[in-house]
Each structure stands twice: as structure tokens, then as C-alpha cells.
Amino acid sequence: MSPLEFFADHTYRIVFAGTVVIGLVAGALGSFAYLRKQSLISDVISHAALPGTLIAFLTAVVVLGTDGRSMLGLILGAVVVGTLAVLAANGLTQATKIRIDTAMAISLTVFFGAGMLLLRVISNGDYPGKGGIADYLFGNASVITVADLVTSAVVGGLALLVMGVFWKEFALRTFDPAHTSALGFRASAVDALMFITIVIATVIGVKAVGLVLMVAFVITPPAAARQWTSTLRSMVALSAAIGAVGSGTGAYLSIVLGVPTGPAIVLTLFGIFAVSIAASPRRSVIMRGLARARARAALRRELLAETGATSGGSVASAGAGGSVPGTRSDGVGQS
Amino acid sequence: MSTPTAARTRSLSVAYRSTPVLRNVDLDVPEGVVLGIVGPNGAGKSTLLKAMLGLVRPLTGTSEFFGRPLSQVRQRVAYMPQSASVDWDFPATVSGVVGMGTYGRLGWLRRPGRTEHEATLRALEHVGIADLAERQIGELSGGQRQRTFLARALAQHPDLLLMDEPFQGVDARSQQAIVAVLHAMRSQGRTVVLVHHDLATVRDYCDHVALLNERLVAAGPVGEAFTRENVRTTYDVTDTDALADLLT
Amino acid sequence: MSFAVGVLLLAIVTAMACALPGVFVVLRRSSMLVDAIGHAVLPGIVIGYALTRDLGSPLLILGAALAGLVVVLGAEWLGRTGLLTGDSPQGLIFPALFAAGVIAVTLNFGNVHLDTHAVLVGDLNLAAFEQWIVGGVSFGPTYLYVMLAVLAGNIAFIAIMYRHLTVTTFDPGFASSIGIRTGAVQTAFMFLVSVTVTAAFHASGAILVLALVVVPAATAHLLSRRLPATLLLAVVIAAGGAAAGFGLAYVLDAATSAGMAVFYGLLFAVALAIVKVRERRRHRQRPTVAGPSSQLPHPHGLHPHRG
């Protein structure tokens, strides 16, 4: 399918726009999770959000009698329960000898397991619109409506607006946690705001790309962007761009190749990351490795030359007496 | 070479990535002494111990113990890491941790037997914590933790003990107990190397000293090497008051 | 053996096999790495199935487990480059491997018949479908014997490597100093975990296998103060919770692993309450006693590398 045909189709246009919005928001806000070294927290949020989306569905259908798949309700449910899960994980580390990795694993699996039970209860029951909810796991971009698109754009836009308004506080808190409180900002308030925006970035993709793979939308663009940039501003901008372009491209490929959208985007993003880490001019893995090896070799030569000049005698005697094999310096000392 | 050496490094250099941490350290540790390694933060003191033990890969140079490479004399050398480096919530008792000192001798399939059990008990008594043997390690104070680590090293029956900051976060009583053990080892002709923070106690605890700041500034008997001039050079202080602060 | 009993036994044995190495996973702070392994083995299973045509094949299990090692070693390598921060290395690799696996499953690559739901939470009934029948008598699901072999392998590995595992987990620096190759122990152990996770995949899927590995072990860690007790308790909790979780899932007609995860969560909450009550009572009895001394300040404890 040519891009022209692709964009001529209304559904495909919506899929494209929907995934681009998700990629852009997650890419921009994921930068903060990445820089604060808490990337995997988004994995906990996205999995734990499952029961939240289902409770929102049930509330809408049973209590309010409205369409259970409204995007706003899903996001709300996901944000509330995803946040609860993270608070539970953090609380565990403070109250017990359980460490954060285990606390995250417990929170993630127990919430997700409860979600899977609830999912079963719903699909065994008689609820209108229940057909689509299994899609929350891997996502189904083709069911996004214009209203969904508008909702996620507005919610995502609000999260980005918060980031813009509190840019200075976010930046300070990210790079110099000790400093923020000294400046008089309420550190915990900034943390809460930043955390909420990260949660929104994580759950915004519920319907289109699913909860299970959202972690990649939050981690991969910033990790790729970081290799090309050195300021926060440029990193967030590039990360958002990578998220948007990668998601759009992945969505296009998924439709052309007939594969699920979420996984296709994840692989596209990973490709961008792999290129970034291999080929970025300043932080390429290959160039860095070479440069480091060269610097170590130069340092080594400098240090060896020093010993030859100042204490050659003692080195020679050390070389004679059963030195650790495998290090090459003893021979050089004698020359 | 007149006196036998317990440990010797030649041109030992270490770099983390490409930043040098140690440069061409030539250190001789004579047998039967307590040698303190002193120097400012970031001087490479802990790194020197780790490089000697092969825990970090040296950029240049060699280390040997009792005239041989470490792999041939591993049983004679014990290492006591900083106590802050481990998880004290680990489900183990004091005697369990001390018993780890005997693992090096046991190899793969042999299980700890009576010899190991007795070595563990003796080590516990030696550092004065036999009454804590069945305590969960998380319930210990800072000083008791260090004594547990020391007992674990003693259970190895080492001829040379390398200690990383043994007095860190330790109460006065535990400090005295540890020092007594070190001096007892010395009187048996065994050797101790310790990374030390407090210049004021160097003369009391150590007979030899090595002053380190990336390079070895000076090393030798305390009376010869531990001079104001050498301390000044090592800590890079020019002010006399600051120097006096360091030494008291 | 009736089908339901076979499924129940399979659930119990799988849970025990996972919980045993889980104790060391928790103590080594590698829990989220197991999450990554659980996802990463999916493409390995798909390729393995295309080659062996048998989901219970030992070759498939060992081969697919190598995909789990890709995450472990890949994340270690990425971390060492110094180009990435925090826990992101593993978070970068496993979604990509999992995505590749999901695409392969949906394209029916190699005719592997897994629905995407089973990929996430497993399908115990499917795993128990093939029965071992000798002379007309059913000896339960054949896969039960695969899991029993994995359980036996885990018991043997931990028994033989007990001291090596303990000392490298507690104090890797000291372990190296007495001549133990910590890196080799870590790789061997993570491969064991990866094999276990792969074998348990059919029972619990990519995500909830994490619950089987981590939650009983963490519960046991809360309650016990000696490693042998922790191991024993973890296995008991795993088995008991598996039976109860099986019942819960049976009633709700849901995936067994989901019932197990939720029930393990309940057990963990109960254990947490017990520990907290015990702590409070001890405080009341001996008000002068300091809390667990892990909470004591380490005034100089914050310069780990040099000094």
C-alpha cells in the first residue's frame, strides 16, 4: 500500500494520528522517567492500570449506563489505579525489608492478575461493549474513534502543558534533587506533578497500542534521543519527535504488513534506538569504545614510560620475581 | 631483598574507564606489620586493595603475595570489604556469615564439617561476639557488623589480612576490640593492611604507613614516612592549621 | 488421574519450581530482570516450536531459555557502556524481543498455536492436555513430568551451589576474594531462572510467571530470618497458594495464573500484617530497643568506589 492510499483512508488516518499523539506525549514525558533512572516504573504503571480501565468500564456500563469504552473514563481509571500500584510499591520499600525491584514486581503482578480475573468476569457477564476490552492488552488501533483521538490529544496536551509551565522545576528536580528543596520549591509537589504526567504518558495508549508494551513507548525514545543531545530541552524535543515519527512509521508498517500495531511500533522504535546507540557522532557505542580503548592505551603508555624513567631498577627486579602472569608490564619495565 | 614481603605491587595503575585512579604504585608490605593506607577521599585507597586482589583489572603493573601470584596463595590472604557494601537484611546469622570465611578452603562438594565449625567459633570468640552467634545480622550495631566481618576474615586463618575502612561507623568499644585483634595478629608474625581514615590514630594502630593520592607519596615505618611534609603533600594542604586539624 | 487433578498438580509443581530460585532472585535484587526474561523467552519459544514441533520438548525449553539470557547479558553490556541510565537497559531490550514474539505468534509463524491471551497468562489446561497413558491408565499430564524434572534440576542446582550462591549474593566482593567466579555463578544462575521461566511459560505466560517467581519468595523473606527457612517457606507458600489460586480461578473460570497471582498477593498482605503486628508488639515490650539496625545511619557509607 502506498502512503497516498494509506492517507486516503479515514480509518488509517485516525490510526496514524492516534499513534503519533501517543508516541509524542510518551516520548516527551518519558524523558523525565528516563533521566530520573526510574524507567521501569512505567512498566508497573501500565500493567497495574489494567484493573483500573476495567473498573472504569464497569462503572460506566453498570452505574452510569454509558459507553464503557469512553477514552476519558479509561484514562481516569488507569491513572488512579496505576498511581495506587506505584504508591504501594514505594510504601513496601519504606515499611519492610523488601527492595524496590521486588516491590515493583509484586505490585505489577498482583494488580495485573486481579485485572485478568476481572477481565474474565466481564467477558463471562452480559455487558454492552465488552467485546473490545480484551484489546486493552495489546491494543487495537483500528477501533480508535475521532472522539478518542480528541480525548487523548487533549489529555496528552494538558500533560505537556504542565511540563511546559513547570519546566524549570522539572529540570531542577531531575538534575539536582537536593538543590530543589533548597530553592524553596515544594519538592514533593513537583514530584507528584511530574509523576502524574508520566502516568498519563503511560496510560494514554491503552486502546490503540495496549498496556503490555507501553513501557517501550516511555523508555525507548528518550534513550535514543539522549545519544544525540546534551541539553534537557533538545532531548525532550527530539524524544517527542522520535516517539511521534517512530509511532507513525510503525503504525503504517503494521497496516501494510498486517501485523498488530503496538508490537510493530515497538520494533520500529527499537530500530531507531539501535541506530542511535551505534551511530550517533558523540555517543556511539562503537566510537566510544574505540576512543576509550585509545585513551586507556595512551594512559598506559604514559604510565609505563614514567616507570622506565624513574624507577626502572626496582621494576626490573619485580619482573624477575614471580609476577602475576597475563599482565604485560613486567617486560616493558626491563627494556 | 632482606625482609620477606607479604605483599608487593609494581607499577600498579588502575583507570575507571579512562580516568586514572592509581598511578604506578610500587608498594612493599613487610611481613609481620600493621600497615595503614591513608590519603584523601578519592585517592584510590580502596581501589589499591581491590586491584591487588584482582577485583578490579589493573591498567598496568603486577601484584604478588609472599613472592607468588595470588592464585597460588589465595588461602593465605583474606579481604574484609566495607560493611556498607552488603545487604544486612540478608537472611543469615552471625555465625553463618563468619562461616563463609571457611568456604574458600572447602571447594565444590565438601560440606562444612567440624574443622570449619571450630574455626568459626574461634573467630567469633577472638573478636568478642561469641554471644551474638545466633543473632540475625540485621540486628547488629555498626561495630558488631565490622567485628562479624573481621571474624569472617579470621576464620580464613590468613597470613595477610587486607581491610577496607574497618573503623567506619564503629563505636569505641568495637574499635578497641578490632585493634586488639590486629595487634595479636602482628605478634604472631602475621600481616595486616588497612585503609584508614583517621590520621590521629595512625601512630597508635600502625607500625607502617603508606600515603596515597593516586600516586604513592611515601611508604615505610611510621617514624620515617609519616612526616608532616609527606602528609602535607598527600592531602595537598599548604595551611598549617588545616594540617594540624588533619592530624588531631 | 482425572484431568482437573492433573492440572492442579501441574500448577503446584510449576509454582514450587519457580519459587525456589525466586528466593535468590529476590535477595539478588533481580526481580524486574525476571520480568524481562519472562517476556524475552517468547520469540525463543516460537522459534523453538517451529523447529521441534513439541511445546514440551527439553530442546525447546533449553533453546528458548537462551533468549532469556540475551536480556540478562545484553542489559549488562548496555549498562557497562555507560550510555544509558538506571534500569533502562533491560526495559529497552525485552519489549523489542516480546514484540517480535507477538508478531510471530499473530502471523502463525511455524504454525505455533498460541492465542495472545495465553502468551500473557498462559493456558494450564492446554499444557495439561496431553496425558501420559500407560496400559490404559492415565499418569497425568506429560507436561507435569517436564515440570517435575525442572523442579528436580532446581533443587539439585541449589543444593550443589548453595554456598556459592549464598556468598555471591550476600557479598560479591568477598566472594571474588576467596576465588569464586561471581560472574560465572551469576550467568549460570540466571540461565537456571531462564529455563524455569521458559518451562513455566505455558502454565503462567509472560507476565504472571513473575508472580510465581517473586511473590512467594518475597513473602517467605518477610517472615524468616534464616536462608534455609526462607527456601522452605517459599516452597510451602508457593504450593499452598497454587492450590488456592487454582480454586479461585476455577470458580471464576479464569486463567489459573491470575488466580495464583491474586492469592499470592493476599498471602503477602497477611504476612506483612503479621510482621507489622509483631514489630509493634516488640516495640511496646522493649521500648528502648532500636529497630532493625539496617535503619541506622551509615555516616560514611556513601562513597562506594574509591576512597
A30 neighbors A197 (Cβ within 8 angstroms): no
Averaged over A141-162, what is the pLDDT? 90
CB contact under 8 A, A109 and C87: no
Q: Which of A219-223, B107-111, C6-10, C28-32 shows the lowest per-residue confidence on average (mean pLDDT)?
A: B107-111
Q: Rounded to whole angstroms, how far apart are CA atoms C209 and C276?
A: 28
A215 neighbors C88 (Cβ within 8 angstroms): no
Pick among 1.10.3470.10, 1.10.10.60, 1.10.730.10, 3.30.540.10: CATH of C3-207: 1.10.3470.10
Whether chain B has a CB inside 8 Å of the CB on A319: the answer is: yes
User: pLDDT of C9-19, one tens digit each?
Assistant: 999 999 999 99
Whether chain C has a CB inside 8 Å of the CB on A91: the answer is: no
Q: Helices (H) and strands (E) in chain C — how many of each?
A: 11, 2
Q: Name residues 189-248 of chain A within 8 A of C (Cβ).
A: 212-213, 215-216, 219-220, 223, 226-227
Q: At residue C291, does pLDDT exceed 60?
A: no
Residues of C in contact with B197 (CB under 8 A): 300
CB contact under 8 A, B91 and C298: no
Most confident of A49-53, A184-188, A255-259: A49-53
Chain A: residue whose CA lies nearest to B51: A324
User: pLDDT of A187-213, one tens digit each?
Assistant: 778 888 888 999 999 998 888 888 889
Whether chain B has a CB inside 8 Å of the CB on C221: the answer is: yes
Beta bridge partners of B65: B7, B68
pLDDT the model gives residue A179: 65
pLDDT the model gives residue A184: 63
The CATH number of the domain where B175 resides is what?
3.40.50.300
Choose from B45, B85, B174, B195 for mutation: most chain C CBs within 10 A.
Answer: B85
Shortest Cα distance, chain C CAs vs residue A191, angstroms:
18
The answer as to whether B117 is a domain residue is no
pLDDT the model gives residue A310: 55
DSSP B224: H
Q: What is the largest CA-CA distance in chain A?
A: 91
The residue whose grid cell reads 576490640 is B177
Q: Rounded to whole angstroms, how far apart are CA atoms C119 and C257?
A: 12
Q: At residue A42, does pLDDT exceed 50?
A: yes
Residue C277 exposed, middle or buried by CB count within 10 Å (0-12, 13-18, 19+): exposed
Beta bridge partners of B7: B29, B65
CA–CA distances in Å: residue A311 to residues A308, A329, B15, B25, B72: 6, 13, 21, 11, 27
DSSP C138: E
The residue whose grid cell reads 495489546 is A138
CB contact under 8 A, B42 and C304: no
Return the C-alpha cell found at C163.
554456598
User: pLDDT of A275-286, one tens digit each?
Assistant: 999 888 777 777
Beta bridge partners of B28: B8
Q: Residue C141: what are its φ and ψ, rounded to 5°? A: -65, 140
Between these two residues, B106 and C218, which has the higher pLDDT value?
A: C218
pLDDT the model gives residue A67: 74
Over chain A, what is the mean pLDDT? Answer: 84
pLDDT the model gives residue A181: 61
Residues of B in contact with C31 (CB under 8 A): none
Q: At residue A322, does pLDDT exceed 60?
A: no
Q: At residue A102, does pLDDT exceed 90?
A: yes
- Written as one string, the DSSP assignment of A177-226 is HHHHHHTT--HHHHHHHHHHHHHHHHHTTTTTT-STTHHHHHHHHHHHHH
pLDDT the model gives residue C288: 45
C88 neighbors A39 (Cβ within 8 angstroms): yes
Whether chain C has a CB inside 8 Å of the CB on B213: the answer is: no
The answer as to whether B136 is a domain residue is no
pLDDT the model gives residue C19: 97
Smallest Cβ distance to C173: which of B16, B55, B78? B55
Strands B191-195 and B160-164: parallel
CA–CA distances in Å: residue C107 to residues A139, A216, A259, C207: 16, 22, 7, 21
Between these two residues, C286 and B3, which has the higher pLDDT value?
A: B3
pLDDT the model gives residue C196: 96
Q: Name residues 112-171 of chain C within 8 A of B (Cβ).
A: 160, 163, 166-167, 169-171
pLDDT class for A316, splitting at 50, 70, 90? very low
Smallest Cβ distance to B11: which of A299, A325, A329? A329
pLDDT class for C158, splitting at 50, 70, 90? very high
Q: Residue B103: what are its φ and ψ, rounded to 5°? A: -65, -35
pLDDT the model gives residue A134: 79
CA–CA distances in Å: residue C181 to residues B58, B83, B104, C159: 18, 21, 12, 18
Residues 6+ apart with CB under 8 A from B97: B137, B148, B149, B152, C170
pLDDT class for C195, splitting at 50, 70, 90? very high
Choose from B63, B80, B139 for mutation: most chain C CBs within 10 A.
Answer: B139
Averaged over A90-108, what is the pLDDT? 94
CB contact under 8 A, B53 and C176: yes
Over chain C, what is the mean pLDDT? Answer: 87
Averaged over A330-335, what is the pLDDT? 30
User: pLDDT of C245-263, one tens digit each?
Assistant: 999 988 888 889 999 999 9
Residues of A in contact with C255 (CB under 8 A): 116, 120
Q: At residue C294, does pLDDT exceed 50?
A: no
pLDDT class for A312, splitting at 50, 70, 90? very low
Averaged over A54-58, what is the pLDDT? 91
pLDDT the model gives residue A185: 60
| Full domain range(s) for residue B222 | 5-86+159-247
Report the number of distinct structural domains present in chain B: 1
CB contact under 8 A, A106 and C120: no
Q: Which of A214-223, A293-302, C36-45 shows the lowest per-residue confidence on average (mean pLDDT)?
A: A293-302
The answer as to whether B187 is a domain residue is yes
Averaged over C170-195, what is the pLDDT? 94
Whether chain C has a CB inside 8 Å of the CB on B142: the answer is: yes
pLDDT the model gives residue A183: 59
Residues of C in contact with A255 (CB under 8 A): none
C265 neighbors C212 (Cβ within 8 angstroms): no
Averaged over A321-329, what is the pLDDT? 35
The answer as to whether B73 is a domain residue is yes
Between these two residues, A96 and C108, which has the higher pLDDT value?
A: A96
The answer as to whether B76 is a domain residue is yes
pLDDT class for A328, splitting at 50, 70, 90? very low
pLDDT the model gives residue A73: 87
pLDDT the model gives residue C279: 87
pLDDT the model gives residue B225: 92
User: pLDDT of A15-36, one tens digit each?
Assistant: 999 999 999 999 999 999 999 8
Chain A: residue whose CA lies nearest to C104: A259
Beta bridge partners of C128: none
pLDDT the model gives residue A172: 86
Q: At residue C149, does pLDDT exceed 90?
A: yes
A251 neighbors A141 (Cβ within 8 angstroms): yes
Low pLDDT (below 70) residues in chain B:
1-3, 108-109
pLDDT the model gives residue B182: 93
**Which candidate, A19, A42, A33, A26, places its Cα nearest to that of A239?**
A26
Q: Is the dihedral of CA A189, A194, A198, A200 positive or negative?
A: positive
Choose from C23, C28, C83 for mutation: most chain A CBs within 10 A.
Answer: C83
Choose from A44, A116, A227 for mutation: most chain C CBs within 10 A.
Answer: A116
CB contact under 8 A, A223 and C84: yes
Q: At residue A329, does pLDDT exceed 50?
A: no
The answer as to whether B54 is a domain residue is yes
The answer as to whether B152 is a domain residue is no
**Which candidate, C229, C231, C175, places its Cα nearest to that of B85?**
C175
End-to-end CA distance of chain B: 36
Q: Rounded to whole angstroms, how far apart are CA atoms A169 and A163?
A: 9
Q: Rounded to whole angstroms, how far apart are CA atoms A63 and A134?
A: 21
